[in-house]
Chain A
Amino acid sequence: MDKSARKIKVKREFAAARDRVWSAWTDASLLDQWWAPKPWKAVTKVMDFREGGYWLYAMTGPDGEKHWARADFLSIRPQESFSYKDAFCDENGTINQSLPQAEWMNRFSENGNSTVVEIEISYENLSDLESIIEMGFKEGFSSGLENLDELLEK
């Protein structure tokens, strides 16, 4: 994390071929299976994966509460990278300008039989970055523990 540059960088290797990892990131039916941290679920309403298109989805909580978000695709280089502008919105996709927005760049590269994904999230200002992390916190913390439970049960 680079706070002075208002950027978050995340890198992770996945044990799968690049075309599959690419699908998991760009196909709504697959995204819905993993994008939301537990106990939230991502539910896609619109997926128009092309430059100028957008993804509209709801983060749905265990009690049915919904937080809508949309990603407007800026650039797409199949199997290599795609970028989008990320924002909170209502169910019709009308962007809530009072909440932080960020630009995402996701890069995919092959490493033997694995695929490396590099994510770079750029915020317009530091306070946006901080508030988004606080929001992620509340969701992320309990879900991390839940995953541990599952792991221990095995």
Chain B
Amino acid sequence: MEARRDVFQAIADPTRREIISLLAKEPLTVSSISERFEISRQAVSLHVKILEECGVLSVTKEGRERRCAIEPQKLAEVSEWLEQFRGMWEDRFKQLDHVLLNLNSKKHEKQLNDGFFGGQVRQEDQGKT
């Protein structure tokens, strides 16, 4: 399978998500990222490489060190993508709110009618008002 390099591939791995969280606070060198993980420096390096290929972070050489900084715009793609999905559910739930509101008011109406007219008002009559 061909390796995909997009923002979703970037966040698909827990270590990479952790690296992103670290870099969200401040840019760090690969060595200082490695210090915070128990995995080998090589493994961290590989994750950094993937993140760079995914466009989520940029790497600049500083002498013998490599400095990593987050690319916030690329990460924004994730929330944009989620927003649209969220929109579908919100749309659905707003309609469900409406259905429930109707159910609630129907019962309320019925109670009122029962109270005022001793239960004489039939369901069909309520529909006309």
Contact = CB atoms under 8 A, between A and B. Distances in A.
Interface string B84-105: 1101111111111111110110
Contacts of A37: 88, 91-92
A52 interface: no
B12 interface: yes
A144 B86 CA distance: 9
Contacts of B8: 3
B84 A20 contact: no
Contacts of B89: 10, 12, 140
A47 interface: no
A46 interface: no
Most buried by A among B13, B93, B94, B96: B96
Contacts of B99: 24, 30, 33-34
Nearest to B102: A33
Contacts of A1: 82, 85
A38 interface: yes
A20 B101 CA distance: 10
Interface in A8-54: 10, 12, 14-16, 20-21, 23-24, 30, 33-38
Interface string B62-74: 0000000000000
A140 B8 CA distance: 20
Given A33-B99, A37-B92, A144-B84, 16 more contacts: A3-B8, A3-B11, A4-B12, A4-B13, A14-B93, A14-B97, A21-B100, A30-B99, A30-B103, A33-B95, A37-B88, A133-B85, A137-B88, A139-B88, A140-B87, A143-B87
State the 7 A-B residue pairs at the shortest beta-carbon distance, nearest first: A140-B88, A144-B87, A34-B95, A16-B100, A34-B96, A37-B91, A33-B99
